Amino acid sequence: MKNQELQNLVQLEIKKRESVSDIIGMNMMKRVLFELQQLEKKPQFQLTYSRILVDSCDFNNDLVHKLLEYAYFIDKRK
């Protein structure tokens, strides 16, 4: 999955969390989006969101799974 596709999915997740007043989850997804945007601008940017997701998210969530796979792929590529 490409960075831009993940950004789009994260933006949808942010909107979903806004609608249910999940402030903590929404802020976490905003952090993930920020990191993906930084990586797009600066390929050497180090992603750290995987630690946040591992500590606080449900692994049955498809988006979390995709984000962790992407972070792993980027880490191995460097």
What would the pLDDT profile of 12-45 be if each residue is shown by its tens digit?
A: 999 999 999 999 999 999 999 999 999 999 999 9
Q: Which residue has the tokens 């920020």?
A: 34
Q: How far apart are alpha carbons 38 and 21 in whole angstroms? A: 26
Q: Report the residue count for the chain.
A: 78
Q: How far apart are alpha carbons 45 and 47 in whole angstroms? A: 6
> What is the structure's pLDDT at 60?
87
Per residue in 40-76, pLDDT tens?
999 999 999 999 999 988 878 899 999 999 999 999 9
Q: Contact 6/34 with Cβ under 8 angstroms? A: no
pLDDT at 78 over 80: no
**Structure-token pair, residue 34:** 């920020």
Q: How far apart are alpha carbons 59 and 69 in whole angstroms? A: 12
